[in-house]
């Protein structure tokens, strides 16, 4: 906690969770205190703020923020802001970083850890549960921190599997730090806080709704080096986390499903769009051995974890689009192996940024299909993601 903590709490209360306005405000006014000191006239000089946002930011009452600090002390929650040395640099680099992170337990040095986000449907099937058992316990034993959202289904299974193997796990809540959702996970929340950490960008007593959960997904991916989608139907919220991961430059893993299994349609689509297939712990470990050899426990030598050269994989042309790696710059017009949807999205993009909704309208594709398609195009270097979920050609 720093002298500016109360100002970060105040500012976070004025802008919605997931907003990308904070970096622009800091650039305009120097720091968080500068934002607090700016009157409405100065705020209106910022073209990126709406009149309503200016009026909101002109309200300077620190009372609620001070009350938040008192409530955190009463429940034993710490508060991290971007100015704290313990605040993860992985989060600080995000354009939509949380300005205040409320923590129960002790957050490890995230930037020196292999953290894997594990997400999936709330309606986990036996196949989904078996997939968790296939790779989470092994990763936990090897020292990988499992990050998930403590929701019902896959999230809960991932946390429990890590705890059973003596591993560490972090829960990122989509509700206030002093709440439990779902209610039956009260004991799980307590165990995670004792084991590692429970975090939320929502302070004690905060009122949240369904929109709060998609916003928290960017923190799951932001804390992680990669995100594993274990079981996801075509419209699963887990795909939102995968999209955040791609936009943040994280790896995306997906557990393959049967071609007729609708509960894995989202996973299979991610794989078609270039995600890394996840079938065993080694699929994750080999990606991070070279950068974090000191964090991987086990008996195997480093050679066993050599990162797979995916340029050598045999990918049937008819089954998957062309994959681009290293510094090869793709040419959308020359790449005839792109799918029709991928070419349709590229056809409407220019160097001027467009939102997902604008791309969907101009391409005639559903928003969900555009989101998944952009995930692939962003990962492979065809398009660049910008703050505010906007995209343009590279």
What ranges do the domains of the chain cover? Answer: 5-104, 113-304, 322-393
Distance CA 371, CA 368 (A): 5
How many angstroms separate the Cα of 181 from the Cα of each of 68, 186, 223? 20, 8, 21
Fold agreement between 113-304 and 322-393 = no
Q: Is 205 left (phi over 0), alpha (psi -120 to 50) or beta?
A: left
pLDDT tens per residue, range 131-173? 999 999 999 999 999 999 999 999 999 999 999 889 999 999 9
CA atoms within a 13 Å half-sphere pointing along the CA-CB vector of 293: 10
Give CA–CA dist 150/185, Å, rounded. Answer: 8
* DSSP secondary structure letter of residue 312: G
Residue 324: predicted pLDDT: 31
Which has more pLDDT, 44 or 374?
A: 44
Rounding to the nearest 10 degrees, give the CA dihedral for residues 94, 273, 173, 292.
Answer: -60
Q: What is the mean pLDDT of residues 292-301?
A: 73
Beta sheet of 78-80, edge-to-edge order: 78-80, 101-105, 197-200, 169-172, 145-148, 115-119, 226-229, 251-254, 276-277
Residues 6+ apart with CB under 8 A from 178: 71, 75, 77, 204, 205
Section 59-69 average pLDDT: 95
Q: Are 391 and 385 in contact (CB under 8 A)?
A: yes
Residue range 322-393 in CATH 1.10.40.30:
no
- Burial class, 230, CB count within 10 angstroms (exposed 0-12 / middle 13-18 / buried 19+): buried
- What pLDDT shows up at residue 215? 87
Phi (first) and psi of residue 347, to 5 degrees: -65, -30
> Tell me, what's the pLDDT at 208?
86
Q: Please state whether the predicted TM-score (pTM) of the whole model is above 0.85.
A: no
Q: What CATH fold (topology level) applies to the domain 113-304?
A: Rossmann fold (3.40.50)
Reported confidence tier of residue 307, pLDDT bands at 50, 70, 90:
low
Top pLDDT among 325 and 165 is at 165
Q: Is residue 326 very low, low, confident or very high in pLDDT (cuts 50, 70, 90)?
A: very low
Q: Which of 169, 113, 165 is nearest to 146 (CA)?
A: 169
| Other beta carbons less than 10 A from residue 84's beta carbon | 17
Beta strand pairing call for 197-200 and 101-105: antiparallel
Predicted pLDDT of residue 321: 29
Helix (H, G, I), strand (E, B) or coil at 248: coil
258 sits in the region (left: phi over 0; alpha: psi -120 to 50; else beta) called beta
pLDDT reading at 60 higher than 60: yes
Q: What is the pLDDT of residue 336?
A: 42
pLDDT one-digit tens code per residue, 195-211: 999 999 999 999 888 77
Which comes out higher in pLDDT, residue 294 or 371? Answer: 294
Q: Report how far residue 99's alpha carbon sits from residue 9's, in angstroms, rounded to the nearest whole number.
A: 7
The rounded mean pLDDT for the chain is 86
- 8-state DSSP, 278: -
Provide the 10 A C-beta neighbour count for residue 100.
26
Q: What average pLDDT does the segment 339-355 reach? A: 84
> Which pair of structure tokens corresponds to residue 327?
């510094």
């Amino acid at each position: 906690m720093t002298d500016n903590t109360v100002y970060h709490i105040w500012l976070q209360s004025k802008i919605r969770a997931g907003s990308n306005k904070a970096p622009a405000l800091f650039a305009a006014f120097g720091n968080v205190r500068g934002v607090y000191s700016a009157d409405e006239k100065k705020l209106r000089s910022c073209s990126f703020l709406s009149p309503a946002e200016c009026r909101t930011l002109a309200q300077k009452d620190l009372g609620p923020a001070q009350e938040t600090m008192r409530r955190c002390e009463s429940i034993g929650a710490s508060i991290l802001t971007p100015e704290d040395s313990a605040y993860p640099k992985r989060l600080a680099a995000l354009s939509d970083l949380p300005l205040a992170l409320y923590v129960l337990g002790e957050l490890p040095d995230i930037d020196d850890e292999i953290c894997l986000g594990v997400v999936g449907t709330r309606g986990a099937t036996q196949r989904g549960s078996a997939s968790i058992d296939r790779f989470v316990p092994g990763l936990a034993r090897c020292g990988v921190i499992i990050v998930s959202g403590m929701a019902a289904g896959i999230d809960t299974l991932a946390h429990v599997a890590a705890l059973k193997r003596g591993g560490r796990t972090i829960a990122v809540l989509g509700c206030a730090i002093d709440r439990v959702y779902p209610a039956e996970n009260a004991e799980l929340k307590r165990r995670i806080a004792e084991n590692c950490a429970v975090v939320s960008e929502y302070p004690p007593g905060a009122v949240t709704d369904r929109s709060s959960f998609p916003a928290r997904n960017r923190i799951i991916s932001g804390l992680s080096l990669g995100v594993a989608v274990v079981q996801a139907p075509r419209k699963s919220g887990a795909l939102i986390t995968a999209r955040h991961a791609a936009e943040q430059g994280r790896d995306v893993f997906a557990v393959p499903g049967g071609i007729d299994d609708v509960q894995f349609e989202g996973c299979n689509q991610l794989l078609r769009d270039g995600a890394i297939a996840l079938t065993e712990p080694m699929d994750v470990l080999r990606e991070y051995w070279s950068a974090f050899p000191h964090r991987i426990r086990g008996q195997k030598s480093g050679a066993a974890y050599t990162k797979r050269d995916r340029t050598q994989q045999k990918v049937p042309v008819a089954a998957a689009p062309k994959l681009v790696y290293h510094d090869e710059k793709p040419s959308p017009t020359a790449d005839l192996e792109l799918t029709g949807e991928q070419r349709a999205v590229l056809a409407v993009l220019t160097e001027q940024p467009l939102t997902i909704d604008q791309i969907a309208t101009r391409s005639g594709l559903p928003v969900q299909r555009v989101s998944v398609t952009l995930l692939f195009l962003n990962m492979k270097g065809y398009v660049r993601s910008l703050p505010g979920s906007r995209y343009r050609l590279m």
